[in-house]
Structure 1
Amino acid sequence: MRQDEIWDTETALSYDTPGVGMFAPEALEPAVDRLAELAGGGRALEFAIGTGRVAVPLAERGVPVSGIELSRPMIDRLRTKADEEAIPVVLGDMATARAPGEFRLVYLVYNTISNLLGQDEQVECFRNAARHLAPGGRFVVELGVPELQKLPPGQQALVWHSEDGYVGMDTYDVLHQRLVSHHFRFGEGREARLSRSPHRYIWPAELDLMARLAGFGLESRHADWRGAEFTAESGSHVSVYRLPG
């Protein structure tokens, strides 16, 4: 599964869920608040900007936002909310593409760095963030913690969500540090619709080493956008890395 095949027109048209899920105010507003604070009045760049879930409300806060995005259909969906002048977007890979100008903040939300399926590509993503930042600039990564402790010995699959009409399941390849997220959607009939996305999961310590290779230091790590303490039981983290100067 290539990323350009996953983020196609059908996915782009169904991606937004206004008011619920990751678009719910309780999920979105703390992220926008924190990113606006970290931008400090400067320019921000979102890697994998998608349909503008975060970028549009951040721009509405007065933060100048640009983006990099691999999927043309996702950009087209973003363009129904904000034009190129309001939120400029470069079509390309977040590990290599270059957006014009210098930024105070680069951010990457909702596990998106794991869409890069090799360690080398993930390291290059950090280096690309560093290339875009002014001295003292920050790179923010929101990422889940691998749930391997929940896998019984010999089992490779984990159901992480279940509700009427939907089951979410991850299958793990622990040898290659990969997982595939499976999303089953169904009604009252016998048929279900399946969508899948591959990921390379990253432990926090490995993420910190990637940051060091790109010249960053870890400034803070919390369990969520509101600043909850990150512990051994946390299922995700928001990590803020900063360049010297």
Structure 2
Amino acid sequence: MDDDGYFGESVAARYDESSAAEFEPGVVDPAVAVLAGLAGAGRALELGVGTGRLALPLARRGVPVHGVELSRAMVARLRAKPGGAEIGVTIGDFSTTRVDGTFSVAYLVFNTIMNLTTQAAQVDCFRTVAAHLEPGGCFVVEVLVPELRRLPPGQNVVPFHVSPTGWAFDVYDVATQATNSNYVEVVDGRGEYRSIPFRYVWPSELDLMAQLAGLRPRERWEDWTGRPFTSESRGHVSIWEKPLT
């Protein structure tokens, strides 16, 4: 791992392509609509801003956006896009990095909360966000529901992509909530392997983290369109707010 964490140059160079489905208007537009509504006339703070998938369209809607990002390689991709130079970015670990000013909404999307690999770091993230929010401001997290129901007794590996030239699988440790996503690609007869660690987190656990940070629940949906969250939902968009007093 280099100074850019697990999202260095080799990952950044093909990030938009490898995550192409997340850049589709049907995915981006509902998220931006929710975030713009929560921002109102205020500012937005994106943790893990990456290459600007949401920051750029949100800024085009007139919302001032500031990002926090550990990977300089990812930020370089953001800067190269139209409007990217206007997005303020602070380089650092989003669990503890402080920036100037306050915000009406902060958001952490696409499972990025799980890039913080300890419970303590995830709690720190909530506390850091709470310190940045204006009274009445909101913190939004989009993250999957841990797929432990797919693990039969004695199994700790779940494949999620298999093709003639690539394999991807998650390895779970249910005792610690540690997991890692593993990728094997074969190009021109040569194999390449990388592994990224995560810590999965339950919705109820996130609610407790929010409570510790002085935030209270506002909404929880299955997705950005506002579908109800149920026991069958594979992910959720959760919103907590900072009390006015």
**TM bucket, shorter chain:** over 0.9
- Matched with 1:241 is 240
1:98 counterpart residue number: 98
Gaps of 5+ in 1: none
SS where residue 6 of structure 1 aligns? coil
1:188-227 matches, cutoff 5 A: 190-227=189-226
CA distance in 1, matches of 2:194, 2:238: 29
Query: For residue 158 of structure 2, what is the amino acid of its counterpart?
Result: L
Task: Report the identity percentage.
Answer: 48
Alpha-carbon spacing, 1:29–1:167, altered in 2? closer, same or farther (3 Å): farther
Quote the Cα distance in structure 2 between the aligned partners of 1:35 and 1:108: 11
Matching residue of 1:153: 153
Alpha-carbon deviations, 1:30-85, whole Å to 9, x = none? 1111111111221000011011111011111111100111111111111112344x
- Residue 38 of structure 2 contacts residue 105 of structure 2 at CA under 8 Å; is this kept in 1? yes
CA displacement at 1:162 relative to structure 2 = 3.5
TM-score, L = length of structure 2: 0.93
Shift of 1:175: 1.4
Contact 1:18 1:24 in 2 (8 A): no
What SS does structure 2 have at the residue aligned with 1:231?
coil
Amino acid at match of 1:154: G
Aligned to 1:53: 53
Residue in structure 1 matched with residue 167 of structure 2 by the alignment = 167
Written as runs of structure 1 = structure 2, the 5 A alignment for 1:16-27 is 16-17=16-17, 20-27=20-27
The alpha-carbon deviation at position 18 of structure 1 amounts to: 8.9
Which secondary structure does the structure 2 equivalent of 1:16 belong to? helix
Q: Contact (CA 8 Å) 1:177, 1:201: kept in 2 or not? A: yes
Deviation at 1:164, TM superposition (A): 5.6
Cα–Cα, structure 1 residues 228 and 192, in superposed 2: closer, same or farther, change >3 Å?
Answer: farther
Q: 1:226 to 1:118 in 2, by over 3 A?
A: same
Structure 1 165/29 Cα, relative in aligned 2: closer, same or farther at 3 Å? farther
User: Which stretch of structure 1 is more off in the superposition, 91-100 or 157-166?
Assistant: 157-166
Give the aligned residue type for 1:185.
Answer: E
Letter of the aligned partner of 1:74 in structure 2? M
| Residue 5 (structure 1) shift | 3.6
Which position in structure 2 is the counterpart of 1:77? 77
Equivalent pairs counted in the alignment come to 243
The runs of at least 4 consecutive aligned structure 1 residues that moved more than 4 Å come to none
- Classify 1:185/1:51 alpha carbon distance in 2 versus 1 (closer, same or farther; 3 Å): same
Contact 1:219 1:240 in 2 (8 A): yes
TM alignment of 1:171-182, pairs within 5 A? 171-182=171-182
Which residue pairs with 1:132 in the alignment?
132
Corresponding residue for residue 43 of structure 1 = 43
The change in CA–CA distance for 1:163 and 1:21 in structure 2 (over 3 A counts) is: farther
| Cα distance, 1:165–1:33 mapped onto 2, change above 3 Å | farther
8 Å contact from structure 2 (residues 67, 87) kept in 1: yes
CA contact (8 A) 1:156 1:171 kept: yes
Residue 241 of structure 1 aligns with an amino acid whose one-letter code is: W
The verdict on how the C-alpha distance between 1:41 and 1:223 changes in structure 2, with shifts beyond 3 A counting, is same
